[in-house]
Chain A
Amino acid sequence: MLDDFLIRAALAGVGLALATGPLGSFVIWRRMAYFGDATSHAAILGVALALALHVPIAAGTLIVALAMAATVSTLAAKGWAMDTTLGVLAHAALAFGLVAISYVPGVRSDLSAYLFGDILAVSRLDLAFIWGGAALVLVLLVWRWQALLTSTLNEDLAFASGLNPNRERLVLTLALALVVAVALKIVGALLIAAMLIIPAAAARGLARTPEAMAIYATAFGALASFAGLRLSLWQDTPAGPSIVTAAAVIFALVAVFGRVLRR
């Protein structure tokens, strides 16, 4: 069954949605959209370094994404103006990555696959990595769910309940870096943050509890992956933008008809 590239592609989309649904909800609740951008754009730099050093791409992206997420968290804790800092870091990471990658011989032709994803070329090994990473993110979030929600609402409240909001923030940072590494092959570095935000934003229109929002976001993410996959296959459009286009259409439909559905 896994011999069929279409089935592998569809499974990759579902695996990604399992992680981006709940994590994307936190990205929205905590207003981390730019944070997601900075981390995912750093993945391009990770690709360049991995190719230059002959280590697996996934390892390179994971490490650089983690380093970026840790840098941003540290600067935030030191009280830097986040909007500006993230604006600088997100675009600097992308630019540095693109420049660095041009030094690696023979990669220029593959560049668009890293920028926009290539869901139709997902191998069995990719699939194992995607599902393994997504499962890890999901387990992490479900395990810390109550603590994460409390810390997101109010850090003092979390402290007073004996929780440590700093540790919960670290959990989210780690999950974000994992998702970036997982999503690179599917939607590409440019649109990972969109995959986190758009399905969750669409889910907000229908949900009454945090859990419902995470579940709707997962469903919308999977749906967008299927629809984008078809578009990419039929029209030979780039995978990442096709999936995000589908997600945006879902968002628009929910925004227009969600009110009616909830009645």
Chain B
Amino acid sequence: MPGLSGGRMSLISAQNLSVRFNGEDVLSGISMAIEPGEIVTILGPNGSGKSTLLRALLGILPLSSGAVARAPGLRLGYVPQKLSVDRSMPMTVRRFLSLPKRVGDAEATAALARVGLPGLETRQMAALSGGQFQRVLLARALLSAPQLLILDEPTQGLDQPGEAAFYRLIEEVRRETGAAVLMVSHDLHVVMAASDRVICLNGHICCQGSPRVVSNAPEYRALFGLGTQGALALYQHQHDHSHDHDHGHGHDDTHPHSHDHNGRTHA
């Protein structure tokens, strides 16, 4: 049951959670749990309530019903979807890392080095590139030594190499610190490669499980259509066989046709 696994408490769990905006259910009947050390990705089309779910779990949004339970004393690191440091506010990277809890210089230096931005302390936040900005946000989240990292579409606005590098960094952080990761994404490639578990969302939980199980679920296919077959095929190919074909992204387009031939058009 959610909330308990092997006698231990989940880091965070939702029981029958619903959120309502203007009398309309945005999320309904969500039950889920995050266990220590796992990487879970919430996947869903635009407007499916992905960010809403994260914000409800964080306690930012009021629930219309249900409950969220946290492990006692849970340390959370959060990387929001959009954070723009207005040019009207002068803010160095070093100062930003000390919000809201002040940290020592040594800690700040180590956190910046960890995310691959050594020596960036004196730079203004407003002058950072998109990729640097996301890494600084991650560094700040890591400073609280989180047991659970929550990231809301952390790679929005990054190019593909930047995105891949960012997810590799997340994976490294998980390996080093043992922190669980809950993130929202709409990028299927990344999800399939980087997650232990996928929650497929569209106002409710359509299906959840390992990426492979989810990708074979009819609910998932209905939601994402045939256009995703490339990513799935790539994923399955890589993970079903032990021999290495060294697939690149260029193969994506050729794969869908080897699978579904039932005449449906691309979504």
Contact = CB atoms under 8 A, between A and B. Distances in A.
Interface of B is mostly: loop
Contacts of B86: 29, 31
B58 A152 contact: no
Interface centre among B60, B98, B99, B101 (most CB of A within 10 A): B99
A81 to B, nearest CB: 18
B89 A150 contact: no
Interface size range of chain A in the complex? 20 to 34
Contacts of B88: 28-29, 31, 204
Nearest to A207: B90
B55 interface: yes
B37 interface: no
B78 A156 contact: yes
A157 B78 contact: yes
A147 B85 CA distance: 16
A149 interface: yes
Contact of A156 (B58, B76, B85, B100): B58
B99 A160 contact: no
Nearest to B59: A159
A154 B100 contact: no
Contacts of B109: none
Given A156-B78, A157-B78, A160-B58, A150 B100 contact: yes
A159 B88 CA distance: 23
A30 to B, nearest CB: 9
Interface in A93-152: 146-147, 149-150, 152
Contacts of B207: none
A82 interface: no
Contacts of A158: 100
A161 interface: yes
Interface string B83-124: 101101111100110111110000000000000000000101
B36 interface: no
B29 interface: no
A110 B131 CA distance: 59
Given A29-B86, A146-B102, A159-B59, A208 B92 contact: yes
A106 to B, nearest CB: 44
A161 B100 contact: yes
A246 B98 CA distance: 36
A156 B100 CA distance: 13
A12 B92 CA distance: 34
A254 B100 CA distance: 31
A212 to B, nearest CB: 7
A153 interface: yes
Given A161-B100, A207-B90, A156 B95 contact: no
A78 to B, nearest CB: 13
Contact of B124 (A149, A160, A208, A213): A208
A184 B40 CA distance: 56
A146 B78 contact: no
Given A159-B58, A159-B59, A208 B90 contact: yes
B66 to A, nearest CB: 19
B178 interface: no
A157 B80 contact: yes
Interface of B: 55, 58-60, 76, 78, 80, 83, 85-86, 88-92, 95-96, 98-102, 122, 124, 150
13 contacts: A29-B88, A146-B98, A146-B101, A146-B102, A150-B99, A153-B83, A156-B58, A160-B150, A161-B100, A204-B88, A208-B90, A210-B90, A210-B95
Given A159-B60, A161-B100, 15 more contacts: A31-B86, A31-B88, A153-B83, A153-B85, A153-B89, A156-B55, A156-B60, A158-B100, A160-B58, A160-B150, A161-B101, A163-B100, A208-B92, A208-B122, A210-B90
9 A-B pairs with least C-beta separation:
A160-B78, A150-B100, A159-B60, A207-B90, A29-B89, A146-B100, A154-B83, A156-B80, A150-B99
